[in-house]
Structure 1
Amino acid sequence: MSVANTVSDVVARARAAQAEFESFDQAAIDNAVCALAWVVMEPGRNRLLAEQAVADTGLGSVDDKVLKNYRKTLGLLRDLKEARTVGVIAEYPELGLTEIARPVGVVGAVTPSTNPVATPTNNVINAVKAGNAVILAPSPKGEATGNRLVEYFRAALKQVGVPEDLVQKLPSPVNREATRELMSQVDLVVATGSQNNIRAAYSSGTPAVGVGQGNVAVIVDETVDCSLAAEKIVASKCFDHATSCSSENSVIVVDAAYDRFCEALVNHGAVILDPVEKQILQDTMWVNGSLNPSILARSAAEIADIAGLDRVDSDNSILVVLESGTGPEYPFSGEKLSPVLTLYRTPDFDAACEQVQTIYGYQGAGHSVGLHSNDAERAVKIGLKLPTCRVIVNQAHCFAAGGSFDNGLPFSLSMGCGTWGGNSVSDNVNYRHYLNIVRIVRPIPINEPFEEDLLADYWNQYGK
């Protein structure tokens, strides 16, 4: 059977299941959402899936994935608990408007090897909450994990009386041709992962939500407690061996805080490499201009061992290199997908912003900027000046950018980066992106202004 026909069969089953699911009310949909969430939150399954994810992909930490799978799903469940996605969801009598939620149909979700459980779980739950069917296209490395995850999802749906074919994955082996074919046949593509997949999603001819590249830069200024800032940055950077696109990649420290911050980094488990060690690490991490797969999402100690650096042991959680340049000739200025942090020193806050601008001119525009500061106005200045969709203030970045219990962002593993990052969305991808909204429009009293009500100031200044 051809790839097109194979994919067509999967899509046809999804459409049949989704058509049946459209008759379910909000309570039944929410029950299905809880069943899907418990698949990953249940401790035994969660650990089994995390262990398989690391075994299959070689990326990340089992214990950290267990925590990530649980907290990301718990947070998503909290976000969705009161959300209405069936029938009338809002009324605005003064405008004569009524909003009705409708599903988009069949969603194709392209997911990365870095998060082969947490990301597809987020996609599936959001899609089902919105009344859709969803077909997963995992990365080849994460496919075996995806098979097990989907088996669990389907069993959970069956248990609560929901059509199993509401959740499927592409038949094995998943490859680029099948993924591209899926993109062309579904009603919506949600793509997370490599920029090649994102570009393919946007050029598929199907409406798409794709997200941008990481390479997060963080500013540390002179007003902050350097020990607290360093503690948060190290905890974030080493979590799951930096598989997250929200992990800090560069920290730009103003001169007045630089020495204190470096000391704090070391106190919290960082090793700051000297120039010779930096070159050894660079030669290990990049081969012919590309990141060496053997160091991706490995612990700092493992990377140091591969590189032959003998100053690092299991107590050291991240490696730090000092940098002044940006661009392809300075590979540490880009995304590293490893617990390796690049440190820049700048004279002041304005120069730090300029350094972030330069970094994002190379890689990472649109995603987010971190700020550790006690000057509230500086976050606003960043939001007004830099190409970023999020300014994360005084938080561990990889825990905060995708939603946290102590900030107001939706829980997500897919961060829209706006036009700066080549995306159609600038917020955290959430259930609303999986819905069509119908608006019933009724007549209201006429509200037509006179010209002078709107143009008087302009006329007074420039004339008619």
Structure 2
Amino acid sequence: MDKDLLSIQEVRDLLKEAKKAQSIYSTFTQEQIDAIVKEMSIEATKHEVELAKMANQETGFGKWEDKVLKNRLAAQGVYDYIKDMKTTGIINEDKNAKIIEIGVPMGIIAALIPSTNPTSTVIYKVMISLKAGNAVVISPHPNAKECIIRTAEILIEAAERMGAPKGLIGVIKTPTLQATNELMKHKDTSLILATGGEAMVKAAYSSGTPAIGVGPGNGPAFIERSADVKLAVKRILDSKTFDNGVICASEQSIVTESIIRNDVIAELKKQGAYFLNREESDKVGSILMRANGTMSPKIVGKTAVYIAEMAGVSVPSDTRVLISEEREVSHANPYSREKLCPVLGFYTEENWETACERCIEILQNEGVGHTMTIHSENDNVIREFALKKPVSRLLVNTAAALGGVGATTNLAPAFTLGCGAVGGSSTSDNISPLNLMNIRRAAYGTKELCDLRNSGGSSCECQSGAEAELEQIVKKVLNELLS
């Protein structure tokens, strides 16, 4: 039979099962839900190395050792952050305002999984979906199908062991574009949680189904003159080489001030960065993007040495990052765009004000709304950047790849980072269970129409006789005292 038709039917079957399962799951108590989420966290942690190696072998992206840390962040870091959240039943009661808030699951979450962070994203999305009371159907990236399916199976077994109904977690085992479209547009899909390429995210928002999507990152890192240059460089290189740069929050360029330019360059070289000359920059730049202007998958998650060799450039064997000094920011300049590998653009500006403008220019070129980093000890400059930068996360004195996902900051641990309206996203949050649930509010009346009409005036006709009489007595006494 036709593979596309089979995949579409598979999606319909998964959604049918998920709908039944979620109907049962919606009756579970907070304690039952929390027990399921905890068991998934424990089980995923047991398999963190296996899944990391599997993802690395199947996709060829990054380093399995770093993928272990990402799996651990998804399994343990996310769990620690969400475990005490109230997500079902009465989650808040304001007795003064007379409002009761009730957590209501959305239904079925369509979880679109990228090839860059496949296993960690599955763990994360399944855990936050179930914590919010939802069912979830996973749509794997075809290039990471096996490791995604394996991760899902581990989570399914753990959830069902603790009483989750069968079908609550589903995974498409024949991933096709048609299957993903069917999942996104199906009437039983409540929300799309999309992490991946720009085209896929746009498709999610165009599907007619509510969606939370993430656009490309292209965050600059500004090293301001008051920064600890050695530490700033260490953080940037640690970040850009972590899993060979596949996290979209990682730095894509460095911007610094002319007064410390030489110090920054010297420290970058000392810590393993290689500055390309113009001819070498052109060679490397020519393989970063495809003819259609999109990032080449051949360079994603590869080492700096591998990329240099691919471009025909000879670099030392211990090179960690390739850097190209640039003056122009444009869509045609690959060094001023997102590069999910250890390659950076480098810009020098006269002062922090012009550096601020340069960072905005880079973000507006690509990655607006996502993330950027500043390394500085000047609180006034940091605050100015926070006020002016069109990003959802301004990371201060930290490694962007790890700070953006909440590993080295106190942001919500997440592998879906909202870019806000300016970035074409429906939220600027690091996505958590709170983004995957609705809140029903029971609001008690506290006023009558006559109260609104006669505020501060005569007694309301809706009052009981005793209340009205008492009010008149109080007013009479007050008038006598004032006279």
Q: TM-score range by the shorter chain?
A: over 0.9
Structure 1 position 259, deviation (Å): 0.9
Contact map agreement 2:122 2:152 (CA 8 A) in 1: no
Is the partner of 1:319 in helix, strand or coil?
A: strand
Contact map agreement 2:137 2:171 (CA 8 A) in 1: yes
Structure 1 position 2, deviation (Å): 5.9
Aligned to 2:468: none
Aligned to 2:95: 93
Aligned to 2:198: 195
Aligned to 1:423: 425
- Residue by residue, what CA displacement relative to the aligned partner does 1:373-406 show, whole Å, maximum 9, x if unpaired? 01112222122222111111101111101113x5
Structure 2 residue 318 is matched with structure 1 residue 344 = no
- Residue by residue, what CA displacement relative to the aligned partner does 1:425-456 show, whole Å, maximum 9, x if unpaired? 0111111111011000002257969999xxxx
Contact map agreement 1:134 1:167 (CA 8 A) in 2: yes
Structure 1 position 287, deviation (Å): 4.0
Q: 1: CA distance between counterparts of 2:298 and 2:371? A: 27
Structure 2 residue 190 is matched with structure 1 residue 175 = no
Structure 1 position 354, deviation (Å): 0.7
- Among 375, 394, 403, the alignment partner of 2:378 is 375
Contact map agreement 1:183 1:204 (CA 8 A) in 2: yes
**Amino acid in the other structure paired with 1:71:** L
Aligned to 2:34: 30
Is the partner of 1:177 in helix, strand or coil?
A: helix
Aligned to 2:314: 310
Structure 2 residue 294 is matched with structure 1 residue 293 = no
**Amino acid in the other structure paired with 1:295:** I
Contact map agreement 1:3 1:181 (CA 8 A) in 2: no
Contact map agreement 2:140 2:149 (CA 8 A) in 1: no
Contact map agreement 2:239 2:250 (CA 8 A) in 1: yes
Q: 2: CA distance between counterparts of 1:98 and 1:130? A: 18
Correspondence list, 1:338-417, <5 A: 338-404=341-407, 406-417=408-419
**Amino acid in the other structure paired with 1:66:** V
- Residue by residue, what CA displacement relative to the aligned partner does 1:182-231 show, whole Å, maximum 9, x if unpaired? 01121111101111111111111111111121011111110011000000
Q: 2: CA distance between counterparts of 1:73 and 1:19? A: 26
Correspondence list, 1:85-124, <5 A: 85-124=87-126
Structure 1 position 4, deviation (Å): 4.4
TM-score, length of structure 1 as denominator length: 0.93
Q: 1: CA distance between counterparts of 2:67 and 2:454? A: 61
**Amino acid in the other structure paired with 1:319:** L
Aligned to 2:223: 220
Q: 2: CA distance between counterparts of 1:449 and 1:299? A: 71
Structure 1 position 158, deviation (Å): 2.2
Q: 1: CA distance between counterparts of 2:50 and 2:14? A: 27
Aligned to 1:133: 135
- Residue by residue, what CA displacement relative to the aligned partner does 1:324-346 show, whole Å, maximum 9, x if unpaired? 10112311100011100111000
Contact map agreement 1:110 1:190 (CA 8 A) in 2: yes
Is the partner of 1:89 in helix, strand or coil?
A: strand
**Amino acid in the other structure paired with 2:179:** A
- Among 258, 273, 284, the alignment partner of 1:281 is 284
Aligned to 1:456: none
- Per the alignment, do residues 2 and 240 of structure 1 end up closer, same or farther by CA in structure 2, a change over 3 Å counting? closer
- Among 209, 214, 233, the alignment partner of 1:211 is 214
Contact map agreement 2:110 2:138 (CA 8 A) in 1: yes
Contact map agreement 2:139 2:171 (CA 8 A) in 1: yes
Q: 1: CA distance between counterparts of 2:296 and 2:411? A: 33
Q: 2: CA distance between counterparts of 1:304 and 1:252? A: 23
Contact map agreement 1:133 1:167 (CA 8 A) in 2: yes
Structure 1 position 73, deviation (Å): 2.5
Correspondence list, 1:234-253, <5 A: 234-253=237-256
Between stretches 228-237 and 286-295, larger displacement belongs to 286-295
Contact map agreement 1:94 1:444 (CA 8 A) in 2: no
Q: Give the gaps of 5 or more residues in structure 1.
A: 453-464
Q: 1: CA distance between counterparts of 2:159 and 2:167? A: 9
Q: 1: CA distance between counterparts of 2:444 and 2:453? A: 20
Structure 1 position 118, deviation (Å): 0.9
Aligned to 1:150: 152
Q: 2: CA distance between counterparts of 1:137 and 1:22? A: 23
- Per the alignment, do residues 450 and 374 of structure 1 end up closer, same or farther by CA in structure 2, a change over 3 Å counting? farther
% same residue? 32
Q: 2: CA distance between counterparts of 1:128 and 1:84? A: 13
Structure 1 position 307, deviation (Å): 2.0
Q: Give the gaps of 5 or more residues in structure 2.
A: 457-483
Between stretches 261-270 and 377-386, larger displacement belongs to 377-386
Q: Provide the aligned C-alpha RMSD in A.
A: 1.8
- Per the alignment, do residues 449 and 55 of structure 1 end up closer, same or farther by CA in structure 2, a change over 3 Å counting? farther
**Amino acid in the other structure paired with 2:344:** L
Contact map agreement 2:7 2:172 (CA 8 A) in 1: no
Q: 1: CA distance between counterparts of 2:148 and 2:78? A: 20
Between stretches 208-217 and 221-230, larger displacement belongs to 208-217
Structure 1 position 117, deviation (Å): 0.6
Aligned to 1:262: 265
Aligned to 1:49: 51
**Amino acid in the other structure paired with 1:270:** A
- Per the alignment, do residues 381 and 450 of structure 1 end up closer, same or farther by CA in structure 2, a change over 3 Å counting? farther
**Amino acid in the other structure paired with 2:431:** V
Contact map agreement 1:304 1:312 (CA 8 A) in 2: no
Structure 2 residue 16 is matched with structure 1 residue 16 = no
Is the partner of 2:391 in helix, strand or coil?
A: coil
Structure 1 position 164, deviation (Å): 3.3
Structure 1 position 81, deviation (Å): 1.7
Q: 1: CA distance between counterparts of 2:316 and 2:13? A: 52
**Amino acid in the other structure paired with 1:440:** A
Is the partner of 2:215 in helix, strand or coil?
A: coil
Structure 1 position 71, deviation (Å): 2.3
Q: 1: CA distance between counterparts of 2:310 and 2:143? A: 22
**Amino acid in the other structure paired with 2:288:** M
**Amino acid in the other structure paired with 2:166:** E
- Per the alignment, do residues 63 and 450 of structure 1 end up closer, same or farther by CA in structure 2, a change over 3 Å counting? farther
Is the partner of 1:367 in helix, strand or coil?
A: strand
